[in-house]
Structure 1
Amino acid sequence: MEIKSDLRHGRHCVFKMHVHLVFVTKYRRNVFTKEVLDDLKIFFEKVCLDFESELVEFDGEDDHVHLLVNYPPKVAVSVLVNSLKGVSSRMIRKKNYPSIKMKLWGGALWSPSYFAGSCGGAPIEIIRQYIEQQQTPA
């Protein structure tokens, strides 16, 4: 896949797809420090590369993280999320952070739920207007 400007090209498609993801820690515990967030960013970037995706933006607070991911149409968001959460949880547990070990004793880092919102491109109203104005053959 080649990247030109902000449009990406696959073999049979041209695309620009972004998703805003939010992951919350199990029981909404405040376990993240700057060091943990820095490690999470590295893990998320590696997973994104495996999916031919790009982690465009990442940040978080004590109990949740936000990701902006540019991904190809062949990737299901649910599969990407599953991998992002699974790999990051496993790698963080390997590092044995005391703040996490004390507050999350069951082995799970993330709540099973997540937020995913599509973003980028023109607003829905503009797209709707554009489609309505197409020259339909009589």
Structure 2
Amino acid sequence: VNFPPKVSVSKLVNSLKGVSSRRLKQIHPELIKSAYLKNALWSPSYYAGSVGGAPISVVRQYIEQQARPH
């Protein structure tokens, strides 16, 4: 994600979670009940990291090589 430096990471994440939650509920109405029962579709936490300008191909390769949870 590339965003203006004046936007805080927390505001960006809040916006992304809100918009994606609404959109997912439109596409998949079955999510509405589970989201209501949990009081949210997304976790209240998040992780943000920087790749220091590395090319997207390098970042993608790094992510793809990570071990998957069992």
Per the shorter chain, which TM-score range?
A: 0.5 to 0.7
1:83 — aligned with what? Answer: 15
* Unpaired stretches in structure 2, ≥5 consecutive residues: 55-70
TM-score w.r.t. the length of structure 2 is: 0.56
What does 1:51-70 align with in structure 2 at a 5 Å threshold?
Answer: 69-70=1-2
1:96 — aligned with what? Answer: 28
Aligned residues: 53
CA deviation string 1:74-133 (max 9, x = no partner): 1111111000001111221223343x35654425210100111122238xxxxxxxxxxx
Q: Given residue 21 of structure 2, which amino acid in structure 1 is its aligned partner?
A: S
Larger RCO (alpha carbons 8 Å, 6+ apart): 1
Q: Counterparts of 1:115 and 1:93 in 2: how far apart (Å)? A: 23
Return the index of the structure with the highest Cα Rg: 1
Bigger strand fraction: 1
CA RMSD in angstroms comes to: 2.4
* Unpaired stretches in structure 1, ≥5 consecutive residues: 1-68, 123-138
Q: Counterparts of 2:44 and 2:25 in 1: how far apart (Å)? A: 17
Q: Counterparts of 1:82 and 1:117 in 2: how far apart (Å)? A: 16
Question: In 2 relative to 1, CA 72–105 (structure 1 residues): closer, same or farther, beyond 3 Å?
Answer: closer
Identity of aligned residues (%): 60
Residue 114 of structure 1 is aligned with which of 35, 46, 50? 46
TM-score w.r.t. the length of structure 1 is: 0.32
